[in-house]
Each structure stands twice: as structure tokens, then as C-alpha cells.
Chains A and B, each alone.
Chain A
């Protein structure tokens, strides 16, 4: 276990280094300069001053390592216009996006797991056909269609949920209001995941239910529910867990769109804003942050395998 941790940690560092390099390289190749964004149409003196502060008159690698050093020490720098500490921007934005993604995945799992299990118990029967066809249909719906539709039907036509929310209270201070605002955006993201989880778990579960140990569990006289939850569910989750990790990328994309559609201030909408304003320091930091989260979550999922499957535990340990 410890060796696994160490090896994964090392991989994580190497990946992060490469990601940061690539991010920095591409953003630095973009037309326009940060100094110009900050100074606008003002004097040449301002430009010269900003270029010195921003290290812009140094060669590429010097600038890169200067920036990377700052990242490590936690000084994320300042956004270009208006000039604000990026850390402050992120501090208000990240809880929204994080909650959006977590909430959406909880929803997707709560819907997909029962659907998949019941489909797998009676494959190709009516329920299975309906749920598989239904989830398949949602696969064809992109987030930028689902979001506006949900908003139109459930906050405009039927005003159950707020459509846009200027005030989003934090989960801790007003959980009800918070979840109420985030319900539709989360559902928007969840709909894409439901189909993926339902189809994977259904297929894996059908395969598991044909295993000898399920016959033995039946021969022990256990109830169907017990067999499903105690014996069949855990060995059927490897596929879902793997894809869950790979999905994080598309979830972040989904969050960007959902935040735009529902007018939430999260990492996604901040990124879009920064891109449109050519605010390169902010784009760099957010890209790096997303990469860190992606890699860290996949590391977590690797560790999760060892929890689900004892065979992996031993194979890795020796």
C-alpha cells in the first residue's frame, strides 16, 4: 500500500509538471500581452512597469519557473482586469463548482444504480428495455440542450426552481436554499452520467449474476435482495468506478456550461470570463487547478480499487 502511494504520488508530480509546462507554453503563445490588458490604452510607462512586475521581459523558461515557484508558494498572482487576487476569485468560485459536480454525481448514482440492478435481474424484459432505451436517449442530449430545456420547463413554465440566482447561500448556512438553486444545474450535468453508469453497471451486473458464486449464494437460501447487494453489487462496480474517474473531464466541461446557463459564479464561468477578457494569469491558474483535481481524483480512484477488490490489494502489495 505504501509503495503504491509513493509511486502514484511521483507519477502525480511528473504529470503536474508536464501539464503546467504545456499550459504555460500555450497561454504564453497567445497573442496579446498581460501588461497590455492591465494598462489598456494608457502610457508606455505603465506597460514597462507591468512587464517588470510580470517578469515578461525574461526568456520563456525563466518566466515559467518564476510562475511555477509562485504557484508552489501559493501566491497565485493577480487577474488582469480588474486586478484582483486570483485566490480571492477562486475562493468564492470553487465551492459552487465542487458542489455542482458532487451533487450531480450523487444524483446520477442514486438513479442509475437501482435502474441498472433491476434491469440486470430481469434482462431484456419490459423494465430493462424501457430503462435502457430511456437512458440511451439521454446520451444523445448534450448539456447545452438539456440545461436550457430544464430551465425553461422547471423554472419558467413551472416555476418550481429558481432560474437564475443572484444569491447562492453556502451549503452550510442555508442548505435548503442552496440545494434548491443547485438542483437544476446539477440535474443538467447528472443526465449525461446516468446513461453511462446505468449501461455499464447493468452489463457488469448481468455478467456477475452468471458467476458460480451467485449460484452458491442462491443455494445458501439467501434472499434476492441480499444476493444483489451483498454478493453481486461490489464485484460489478469496477467498470463504473473506472469510467467515473475518466468522466471527471467531461463533468468539468458540463459544469462550465451549466454555470453559464444558470448564471452561477463557479470555476467554469470564471474560466469563460477570463478567456473572453484574455486574462491569461487566471486562465493559467484555473487550467492548472482543473488538472490537479483531475489527477488527484484519479489517484483516489486507483486507491478505491484496492478497497473494492481484495485481489488488487495483494497484487499491488507484493
Chain B
């Protein structure tokens, strides 16, 4: 439940990423993001882990809503996989980003298909983004979901060239 509260800032951020298309479609009450994206099938794997996994609704919901308004293809399982990973390991990711390396950071970059040559640049960008995000006085009091979403957004932007390559 604690993650079910998607902050307005996170949602606004995701809408900004997708531009006018998603903003207009976000008003469409008929959209069921799990159905349209097939995210439910990817996450809830019929083996009893749904309860354990359901605490990442915030990012799946956000991802699903924004993606569903564009096309089902955009909410690929890879996006969901990255969002789950970031949500679950945000504290370690933030620490390793500050340190500049670590197993969680390596895994995140791997999920984004960042090759060895691209990683240094991506990590530099992630560090800069985290430095800016954590410089805000209210950072310490931010909800876990908001911090994780911020990192997820930063990762997607920093690694955009990785995915393209």
C-alpha cells in the first residue's frame, strides 16, 4: 500500500517524457494498463509471488499508463524488469552510484544494454543526476517510490544511447 501512492511529481515526470500524446490519452478511462501492456502476465507469474511483487505497483502503474497510451509495444517486459529492479534495489543503486561502481549498478546498466565503453558516461550522468536530486533539502523525506522513480527516469535518459546501439 505504501507504494501505491504515486506522487504527482512522478506522474508528471512520466507524462512529460511522453509528451502530448500521453497527456491526452491519460484521460481515457477505458485503458487498463495491465491488459493493454500485458504487464500483468509478465509480473504476476501464476506462482504465488504476486503478493510479494505487488508492492512495485507504483512503477508498473506509471509505466503501464504512459506506455499504454502510446502502444503496447512500448511497455515491453524489459521496461518492467528495469523498473522492478530499481524499485527493489534503489538504496544500493544510490550508494553504488555515489561510489561509481558496484554489482547493482552493473546489473542496472546491463539491463539497459550498456556496453563497457558506454558505462563510464552513463555512470557520470547518473552521478550528476543523483547529486542534483539529493541536493534538495526534502530528499531525505521523499518516499521511496519517488526516489526510485527519479532514478529510473535518470537511468532511462542516461542510457538512451545504450538501448539504441
Question: Does chain A bind chain B?
Answer: no
Residues on B facing A (Cβ under 8 Å): none
Residues on A facing B (Cβ under 8 Å): none
